[in-house]
Amino acid sequence: MPLVRIDAIEGRTELELAAIGAAVHRALVECFGVPERDRFQVITEHRRGQLVYSRDYLGIERTDGLVVVQVFLSTGRSDEQKKAFYARAAGLIEKETQTRREDVFLSLVENTRGDWSFGNGAAQYLTLPRDEWK
């Protein structure tokens, strides 16, 4: 269910981008209970100058290695779960890719279960019992 948009400045290898996506997904699975196979991500690279960011907002030193991760997902996660997700996503990205944790920008946008169709024109989260979400 989450639809994840990842934006970064061009120059990373495909492998590196894939590793960033995988790290975000693992954090979603671990911290939000997202099903393992529920992975949908749109990655877009941008020329320098087309990903605009503050180098020091809130005292964090950001570089051109910035990745902007925007997660659209159904409502229902607490602030505590969100904190755990941010920490885990940034931690995994730093550990498993070349990206620094200072350069991980994360943001969530919530909708509801009726706002998703995963194919075939059905609203699966309204019609399928939860134990079949896999």
Residue bearing tokens 């290898």? 13
Tokens of 64: 């051109």
From its phi and psi, is residue 36 left (phi > 0), alpha (psi between -120 and 50) or beta? alpha
Among 23, 28, 32, 103, binds its own copies (CB under 8 A): 103
- What would the x/- binding string for its own copies be over residues 19 to 38, using CB under 8 A? --x-------------x-xx
Among 29, 30, 72, 96, binds its own copies (CB under 8 A): 72
Question: Sign (positive/negative) of CA torsion 79, 104, 16, 46?
Answer: positive
Distance in Å, CB of 97 to its own copies, minimum: 14
Is residue 73 within 8 Å of 108, Cβ to Cβ?
A: yes
Q: Kindly list the residues in this chain that would bind its own copies in the complex (CB under 8 A).
A: 3, 7, 14, 17-18, 21, 35, 37-47, 49-54, 56-58, 60, 62, 68, 70, 72, 79, 82-83, 86-91, 101-111, 114-124, 126, 128, 132-134
